[in-house]
Amino acid sequence: MDIETVRNICKALPSVTEDVKWGNDLCFLIAGKMFCVTPIDSPLKVSIKVTDEEFGELTNLPGIIPAPYVARYKWIFVEDASVFNDKR
């Protein structure tokens, strides 16, 4: 998976906009609210807003941890994007 794959997945959702924030982070938003953030430079790491139910399930997978600073808002941090495949 690369940043273009992340961009294609996010942009396929209705009403998604993208913006660069903090000088180096590509952010995806719906109605002005961020739901996905990834650094523009590599290696690919992704922070994603998830539901309460998904949070517990996903943070039990290898390569996914509660996102630093925003885990209380149910954000996960994907340290290794290879944990995602066609089955997830």
Reference 38, options 72, 73, 11, 62; nearest CA is 11
Parallel, antiparallel or unpaired: strands 46-49 and 25-30? unpaired
pLDDT of residue 82: 74
Residue 88 pLDDT? 47
Tokens representing 8 are 């294609």
pLDDT one-digit tens code per residue, 13-39: 999 999 999 999 999 999 999 999 999
pLDDT at 41: 86
- Domains for the chain: give ranges and CATH numbers: 3-83 (3.90.1150.30)
- Over residues 32-87, the pLDDT tens digits come to 999 999 999 878 899 999 999 999 999 999 999 999 999 999 999 998 777 776 45
